[in-house]
Chain A
Amino acid sequence: MDLPTPSTSPPSEARLHDGRDARAHIVSLTWENGLLHLRGAEHDEKLSPALLRRGLATRAGLTLHRTDAPDWRLLLPAGSDFGHDLAQHGSWRPWQRGLAVAGTGVAIAALAGIVWTGDALAGRLAPLIPHAVTAPIGKQLVSGMGKACSGKAGLTALAGLVTRLAPAGEIREPLNLTVIDSATVNAAALPGGEVVIFRGLIDEAAGPGEVAGVLAHELGHVARAHVNKGLIRQLGLSLVTGGSDAAGLVNLALLLRATRADEAEADGEAIRRLSRAGWATAPLADFFDRQRRQPGRTTGVLAGIDDYAASHPPDAERAARFRAASVASPVSVLDAAGWQALRSVCGARRKPSA
């Protein structure tokens, strides 16, 4: 053990707070045979410097602590060098420091592990969540979004699209499609196989191919259980990071990383499904390009919140992917009557917003 050997002799007097009461005692100090000898009216003891620790140093002087008596304080007057080579009070022993470094390393590695494998884990668990759990959540969300449109012919046309894109039984969760009567240009896949399209998106679409493209993308999310993955991710993150400051940062980074991957996967699914149905993929690329070219729509903070373009970044890469996936001699998605019915699924046809 490294015994500190004070290089200078102690000051002749110091003040002692012995930790038993609030009285201050004047003690005389001498250095005898490697021990600090304290003498006062009520005190007479010899202390090994191994027990002493250096505490706060102020203009008034230096405070010494004792490892075996936590409330004991010896106040050395200023102007003496004694005690400055003692170990710092509260400083960690080498093994403690080693443990702290190792602990921090393990914690960082664990956090990194969760960030990198958490997404894969959530992906594995996602299909295991029973429909009975997710269905009520989805129903609740849909009912909170607004009035559902009930145009019979339009809904039939839409159901036809769904059947072509996802033949019955192919997707594990039963699908339920709703058109919401809202000007928002958006569509979403929700828990429990709920797929929502907003009327604004149908108004905005130049043709049925664009609606089919968006629908195929959302069905891709359902097929790959991305929504359940999101639920697991939210629960897992709130558990792992709790109330710590780092939570926000990690959460955001993880969500962004994960959703980018999910979006790309859903795009892949969309291309596969459109091609299988014999439908062109290029219209969705046109839709992305048009969304991107409307600056007021995507950059305005207020306007952007509910926007399809805002939640699905329409980068040129995505559009290019759909344009590249050419389909040999595509067939028409809907006939003129079907498209007309779909356009008026929420009642009298509205002018597309400029």
Chain B
Amino acid sequence: MDAMTADRPRPDLWRFDGRGSDFFGVALVNLLLTVVTLGIYRFWGKTLVRRYLWSNSLFAGEPLEYTGTGLEKLIGAVLALLLFSVPFFILSFVAGIMLQTIPLAAAGLLLVLYPGLIWLLGIALYRSRRYMFSRTAWRGVRGGMAGNGVAYGGRFLKLGLLQFVTLGIATPFVTTRLWNALMNEAMFGSIEVTAAAEWRRLQGRFMIGWVAGFIAYAALIGLAVSIMPLPGRAPPVDPIAEATMIGQIYGAALLLGIVVGLAMLSYLAALQRELWGSLRVGDLHMEMDLRGRDLLGFWLVNIVLIVFSFGVGIIMMPYRIYSFYARRVRVTGSLDVEALRQSSLSAPRQGDGLADAFDIAAF
């Protein structure tokens, strides 16, 4: 009687109703205001972008609500600057000077500083999600994340190291483990979110891309060695020859990127299917309907859009990325709204400033 009819499961539990033309208006005003305020407005701009995307995302016919504010994000960014960026700049400057006089101490400092930066990046990723979830509500019920990101930062560093020493072969393992670690701490109100993405299902596809990348990379190095001036050989004096050489190297690097990108398409699509397909919110299941050719078409259109608008098209990217994935997500199962109580997690009081410093949120 109290509960609405929308509580019954429906074929389209999840829908995204945004329109590119509407979003363009929002994004254009944001761009202009960001330019005239020397960038300060971007915190409010990002908030408006999310508010638009969220309010057009319907779960069981009712919109999500984004409750974050621009001021929060600004305060977060200022805090991140004072607590992390400033000390980091000072320490790296000190290390730079020490490198000349007491190299051993400097090396020690750098050995702490750079892993520390990666650890911070992991924390930033976590807190960016935590902020986003805590500012997302449906029917007044908020999301959230249980931890503070410190442990996730450590895991991020450790797995990053593993990825590095395995020359990238462990990428599917690392990516799925990090996703699981992140999403298993997420909550929607009183309901726990669980993720159980499996790397074994992805490794085969990944290796195709990895081997292609390895061959292309070796070919690029071979080319670079054959045309670059070796210590014994004089560099080309003629500017045209110099330009040709640089052009060849950049062209080959671009070609390498395209080859690896194409070889990875199948893996990247399978990865998204695995990550989203392994996600549960209570009794709700997710599915991601995505093929490699969808990704290819998506990025080709993005490139055309950006190139032919002389770069202005980049303001549409948050919409394009969100819409691309949101329209391919299918939600099945049921949600017991009687049992979905308000989140007991305390919401962070500042925005995802550190994440802004690393510039990692797509929308």
- Seen from chain A, the residues whose Cβ lies within 8 Å of a Cβ on chain B are 15, 17-26, 40-42, 56, 58, 70-73, 90, 104, 132-133, 136-137, 139-140, 183, 235, 238-239, 242-246, 249-250, 296, 300, 302-303, 353
29 contacting pairs across A/B (C-beta < 8 A): A19-B342, A20-B341, A21-B141, A21-B337, A21-B338, A22-B341, A23-B139, A23-B337, A24-B3, A24-B4, A41-B1, A42-B2, A56-B65, A58-B63, A70-B67, A71-B137, A71-B140, A71-B142, A71-B342, A72-B140, A73-B65, A239-B89, A242-B85, A243-B81, A243-B357, A245-B34, A245-B39, A296-B239, A303-B239
CB pair B243 A302 closer than 8 Å: yes
Chain A nearest CB, measured from B96 CB (Å): 8
Closest to A243 in B: B357
B321 interface residue (CB < 8 Å to A): no
Instruction: Give the complex CA separation of A62 and B77 in angstroms.
Output: 32
CB pair A17 B38 closer than 8 Å: no
B42 interface residue (CB < 8 Å to A): yes
Name the contact of A243 in the complex, choosing from B85, B246, B340 (C-beta under 8 A). Answer: B85
Taking CB atoms, residues of chain A closer than 8 Å to B90 are 239
B86 interface residue (CB < 8 Å to A): yes
Instruction: Give the complex CA separation of A133 and B86 in angstroms.
Output: 21
CB pair B237 A136 closer than 8 Å: no
Instruction: Give the complex CA separation of A239 and B89 in angstroms.
Output: 7
Taking CB atoms, residues of chain A closer than 8 Å to B324 are none
Name the contact of A58 in the complex, choosing from B55, B139, B142 (C-beta under 8 A). Answer: B55
B166 interface residue (CB < 8 Å to A): no
Instruction: Give the complex CA separation of A56 and B55 in angstroms.
Output: 9
CB pair A41 B2 closer than 8 Å: yes
- A137-B97, A245-B39 known; A22+B89 contact, CB < 8 A: no
B100 interface residue (CB < 8 Å to A): yes
Instruction: Give the complex CA separation of A132 and B102 in angstroms.
Output: 12
Closest to A70 in B: B67
Among B6, B34, B100, find the residue whose CB has the most chain A CB atoms closer than 10 A.
B100
Name the contact of A302 in the complex, choosing from B4, B142, B246 (C-beta under 8 A). Answer: B246
Chain B residues numbered 103-150 whose CB sits less than 8 Å from any CB in chain A: 137-142
Instruction: Give the complex CA separation of A353 and B34 in angstroms.
Output: 48
Taking CB atoms, residues of chain B closer than 8 Å to A71 are 137, 140-142, 342
Instruction: Give the complex CA separation of A245 and B34 in angstroms.
Output: 9
- A244-B39, A246-B39 known; A22+B4 contact, CB < 8 A: no
Query: A15-B4, A20-B341, A71-B140 provided; 13 other pairs, C-beta below 8 A?
Result: A18-B140, A22-B141, A23-B2, A24-B4, A71-B137, A71-B141, A71-B142, A73-B140, A104-B40, A239-B89, A242-B81, A246-B39, A249-B38
Closest to B78 in A: A242
Name the contact of A235 in the complex, choosing from B93, B138, B340, B356 (C-beta under 8 A). Answer: B93
CB pair B138 A22 closer than 8 Å: yes
The prevalent SS among residues of A at the interface is mixed
Taking CB atoms, residues of chain B closer than 8 Å to A243 are 81, 85, 356-357, 359
Chain A nearest CB, measured from B207 CB (Å): 37
Taking CB atoms, residues of chain A closer than 8 Å to B40 are 104, 244, 246
B332 interface residue (CB < 8 Å to A): no
CB pair B141 A242 closer than 8 Å: no
Closest to A16 in B: B140
CB pair B97 A242 closer than 8 Å: no
CB pair B38 A245 closer than 8 Å: yes
Among B3, B139, B359, find the residue whose CB has the most chain A CB atoms closer than 10 A.
B139
B242 interface residue (CB < 8 Å to A): yes
Instruction: Give the complex CA separation of A26 and B356 in angstroms.
Output: 41
B101 interface residue (CB < 8 Å to A): yes
B213 interface residue (CB < 8 Å to A): no
Taking CB atoms, residues of chain A closer than 8 Å to B340 are 21-22
- A41-B1, A249-B38 known; A22+B100 contact, CB < 8 A: no
Chain A nearest CB, measured from B360 CB (Å): 12
A-B pairs, top 5 by smallest CB distance, nearest first, are: A136-B100, A245-B39, A17-B140, A22-B340, A246-B38
Instruction: Give the complex CA separation of A22 and B140 in angstroms.
Output: 7
Chain B residues numbered 60-103 whose CB sits less than 8 Å from any CB in chain A: 63, 65, 67, 69, 77, 81, 85-86, 89-90, 93, 96-97, 100-101
Closest to A192 in B: B100
Instruction: Give the complex CA separation of A163 and B268 in angstroms.
Output: 66
Among B39, B55, B69, find the residue whose CB has the most chain A CB atoms closer than 10 A.
B39
Chain B nearest CB, measured from A19 CB (Å): 4
Closest to B138 in A: A22
CB pair B239 A300 closer than 8 Å: yes
- A23-B3, A41-B2 known; A90+B341 contact, CB < 8 A: no
B153 interface residue (CB < 8 Å to A): no
B189 interface residue (CB < 8 Å to A): yes
- A42-B2, A90-B69 known; A238+B89 contact, CB < 8 A: yes
Taking CB atoms, residues of chain B closer than 8 Å to A19 are 140-141, 342
Closest to B338 in A: A23
Name the contact of A242 in the complex, choosing from B4, B86, B341 (C-beta under 8 A). Answer: B86
Closest to A15 in B: B4
Chain A nearest CB, measured from B48 CB (Å): 11
Chain B residues numbered 195-245 whose CB sits less than 8 Å from any CB in chain A: 237, 239, 242-243
Closest to B35 in A: A245
CB pair B239 A302 closer than 8 Å: yes
Instruction: Give the complex CA separation of A72 and B67 in angstroms.
Output: 12
Instruction: Give the complex CA separation of A238 and B40 in angstroms.
Output: 17
CB pair A353 B237 closer than 8 Å: yes
Taking CB atoms, residues of chain B closer than 8 Å to A133 are 97, 101
Instruction: Give the complex CA separation of A353 and B89 in angstroms.
Output: 43
Taking CB atoms, residues of chain B closer than 8 Å to A249 are 38
Chain B nearest CB, measured from A238 CB (Å): 5
Taking CB atoms, residues of chain A closer than 8 Å to B335 are 22
CB pair A21 B81 closer than 8 Å: no
Instruction: Give the complex CA separation of A90 and B69 in angstroms.
Output: 8
| Binary A-proximity of B310-348 (CB < 8 A = 1, otherwise 0) | 000000000000000000000000010110111000000
CB pair A25 B342 closer than 8 Å: no
Instruction: Give the complex CA separation of A19 and B189 in angstroms.
Output: 10
Name the contact of B237 in the complex, choosing from A56, A183, A244 (C-beta under 8 A). Answer: A183
Chain A nearest CB, measured from B21 CB (Å): 16
Instruction: Give the complex CA separation of A25 and B246 in angstroms.
Output: 68
Instruction: Give the complex CA separation of A104 and B41 in angstroms.
Output: 12
